[in-house]
Structure 1
Amino acid sequence: MLLLAVILSLWAAAPLRAADPYTADRERMVARQLKGRDITDPRVLAAMGRVPRHRFVPEHLAPLAYSDMPLPIGSGQTISQPYIVALMTQWAEVKTGDKVLEVGTGSGYQAAVLAELTGRVYSIELLPELARAAATRLQELGYGAVRVRTGDGYAGWPEEAPFDAILVTAAAPEPPPALAAQLKEGGRLVVPVGPRRQVQQLLLLRKKSGKLVEDKRLPVMFVPLVPGSETKK
């Protein structure tokens, strides 16, 4: 009976493994691109190892999904390279139960990684077509608890504030004041700051005594965080 149970369990698991031909690629990504650099948080590494990045890119780009590069997702937007997603997540120091806001849903990949760490993820996307596609994709992959809405990222999500952590996945000229206001005391804001189409700085800012204090920075290049007013012109 024990042998039969083992055989049945292996048979049941086989379709799941076969359904994801990119498991080995994902494991290599974690080992070489993340562990091989400065991603050390075991929860972040585990989350990156679980989320199927190939499901968040156009089908013809799936073979490149676990390469260390950003990829286009349509509407002039990109999905960040895995290392940057992991780094931003690690800097955000997300704990179980934390309330997290993501600004710039894009494909939904960063939101899925965050959802592996906490069940309270809110994501706002300016472009309706991306927001709809991301919400559908997250639901299909079991991340239906992530709340996605269309809106101006500069305004944040005041109805759900305050947040323990806020991650911004597009570059702003400076940290948006509304996001700083929606951050809890002691909270973490991870945001790329700088001019469009030039080298920017990814900042980790902590809220101390009501003010944002810089903790870390890294040179990066992100697509711009577009104000909602620009889409109405």
Structure 2
Amino acid sequence: MSGTDYADRRQLINRNQIAARGFRDEAFLSAFAKAPRETYVDHRMDGGEVGADDRLLEVGAVTGYAAAVLSRPAGQVHAIKWHEALARQAAARIRELAYDDCEIITGDGLKGLPNEASFDAILVAVRFDSVPDALKR
């Protein structure tokens, strides 16, 4: 698919999914339409590398979206968000949408989840200088 095709798709998403939900801020809509989301997709997750028996950990869960998506091919997803109010919102959304194999936890993701370890894969959506020991275990 060409860059123009992706740009056209971003415009459709903007109109049909974002603006249609009530977002009206032109600066936001413009930025969203220009962000090349297709370059952010990690193709290593494509092709069935996550299986039905896999247990995943997401560190830095923001809205719960990635955890929800990952929970479909995986067996279980635990997601950690340090910001308590955002974690509660994401957890409520996950429960409301009946993602029973997905859990959003308030906590310090850099400490991992030792009581739930080990994991088959860890998705980290935060920045740090080196992988914390807790995530290596």
- Does the pair score TM above 0.5? yes
1: CA distance, partners of 2:60 / 2:48: 16
Question: Does structure 2 conserve the Cα–Cα contact (< 8 Å) formed by 1:89 and 1:114?
Answer: no
Q: Specify which of 95, 109, 128 is matched with residue 65 of structure 2.
A: 109
Q: Specify which of 148, 160, 174 is matched with residue 130 of structure 2.
A: 174
Q: 1:170 to 1:176 in 2, by over 3 A?
A: same
1:1-233 to structure 2, matched below 5 A, reads: 60=23, 67=33, 69=35, 81=37, 83-87=39-43, 89-90=45-46, 93-181=49-137
1: CA distance, partners of 2:44 / 2:127: 13
Q: 1:91 to 1:180 in 2, by over 3 A?
A: farther
Q: CA RMSD in A?
A: 3.2
2: CA distance, partners of 1:91 / 1:166: 17
Superposed CA deviations along residues 98-117 of structure 1, whole A, max 9, x for unmatched, are 01000011011110110111
Superposed CA deviations along residues 128-178 of structure 1, whole A, max 9, x for unmatched, are 011111111112223133111111111000000011001101111111111
Give the TM-score normalised by structure 2.
0.70
Shift of 1:86: 4.5
Q: Identity of aligned pairs, percent?
A: 39
Aligned length: 117
Question: Does structure 1 conserve the Cα–Cα contact (< 8 Å) formed by 2:58 and 2:124?
Answer: yes
Question: Does structure 2 conserve the Cα–Cα contact (< 8 Å) formed by 1:122 and 1:148?
Answer: yes
Amino acid at match of 1:144: D
Amino acid at match of 1:123: A
Work out which of the two has the higher radius of gyration on C-alpha atoms and give 1 or 2. Answer: 1
Q: Which blocks of at least 5 consecutive residues in structure 2 are unaligned?
A: 7-16
Amino acid at match of 2:71: A
Question: Does structure 2 conserve the Cα–Cα contact (< 8 Å) formed by 1:125 and 1:148?
Answer: yes
Secondary structure of the residue aligned to 2:115 is helix
Give the TM-score normalised by structure 1.
0.43
1: CA distance, partners of 2:104 / 2:126: 17
Secondary structure of the residue aligned to 1:122 is strand
Superposed CA deviations along residues 20-53 of structure 1, whole A, max 9, x for unmatched, are xxxxxxxxxxxx65xxxxxxxxxxxxxxxxxxxx
Q: Which blocks of at least 5 consecutive residues in structure 1 are unaligned?
A: 1-31, 34-53, 71-80, 182-233
